[in-house]
Amino acid sequence: MRVLLTAFAALALASFSACTRTATRGISVDPAFRTLIPPDTSTLSGVEWDALKASPFYQRHQQDLNLPAFNAAVERTGVNPLSDVSKLLVASNATDYLFMERGRFNADDLQKRITSGGARETTYKGHKLLGNTAGAIVFFKSVVVEGDDAAVRRAIDLESAGDGEVPEELAERLRTLDKRDQIWTVSRAGLAYANLPMKTDISSALANITGSISGTTAGVYVDSGLHLSIDLQCKSDAGATRVHDALRGLIGFGRLSTKDNEQDLLRAYDSIQVDKSGQTVKVRTDLNGDLADKLLDSVLALKHSQ
């Protein structure tokens, strides 16, 4: 069984990461995004695409990252996340998701493409909204915002009133992240994205610990290899012990379920360190370039076999 390793690798594939870190701390959200962030945001996630694409790991594997979700985005908006987007921010209150992008695209051209695809056009507070039953898109000076129609209109309200900002609880978590993290997530409402649909085995594994977790801080940094850092803030010391023991147990079970000829997977399991400090459970994994390459190959082979 590769439940835990697959979960970590999934985040790594959506991210990737590095081998060494320094004491430089603190992630700063782009000012162009801040004015659009709702005050009730419970989970905030960011991707520094330009920094990610400059990494040696990405350069080696860019052909492997032609994911269906990216192709769907191109079909829907004409924006290719792998080439056109420089930064991405996702804000969620567990009900609505707001996607904000900065990059190299022409707003007029995109609006024409989206409209020609059948999107209806409306105006709200001087902003042109393009949408359908799936949601709406609005273009600001340097940011494209996409989400549910009500969420997009709320973002316009916040920007107009100057009320958008990163909630302090999330800002505090951002200050603890490595400044070089190209992919990060902070949550003040339990395990980040635990409510999203996922494979049954992963969902079942997470169900045993989600109730004990009050917040998440996760960061990924990529150079030639892979390094993932996750801090899980728990509701009590007993809850932290439960989460710590459950994660250690999953790692142990994963190792026992790994075949003898899958030494790279064993090395990947061995790289995952789980420690408890008070009510916080810290998860770290640090892979060099060679092992990161082989892990990616194993995950892609597993995905293609399903």
What would the pLDDT profile of 177-235 be if each residue is shown by its tens digit?
Answer: 999 999 999 999 988 887 766 566 666 667 778 999 999 999 999 999 998 999 999 99
Domain boundary among 165, 192, 216: 165
* Domain region containing 180: 1-29+166-306
pTM of structure: 0.83
Regarding whether 121 and 35 lie in a shared domain, the answer is: yes
What would the pLDDT profile of 150-173 be if each residue is shown by its tens digit?
Answer: 999 999 999 999 999 999 999 999
Distance between first and last Cα of the chain: 14
Domain boundary among 165, 198, 230: 165
Regarding whether 306 and 177 lie in a shared domain, the answer is: yes
Regarding whether 202 and 131 lie in a shared domain, the answer is: no
Instruction: Answer whether residue 247 shows pLDDT above 60.
Output: yes
Regarding whether 264 and 188 lie in a shared domain, the answer is: yes
The count of domains in the chain is 2
Regarding whether 187 and 248 lie in a shared domain, the answer is: yes
Regarding whether 161 and 180 lie in a shared domain, the answer is: no
Mean pLDDT of 78-103: 87
User: Is residue 135 very low, low, confident or very high in pLDDT (cuts 50, 70, 90)?
Assistant: confident
Regarding whether 190 and 67 lie in a shared domain, the answer is: no
Domain boundary among 115, 140, 165: 165
- Per-residue pLDDT at 205: 67
Task: Please state, in angstroms and rounded to a whole number, the distance separating the CA atoms of residues 270 and 252.
Answer: 9
CATH number, domain at 101? Answer: 3.40.1000
CA distances to 21, 47, 121, 150 from 144, in Å = 32, 15, 16, 16
Name the percent of the chain lying above pLDDT 70.
82
Instruction: Answer whether residue 257 shows pLDDT above 70.
Output: yes
- Asked whether the beta carbons of 64 and 191 are under 8 A apart, the reply is no
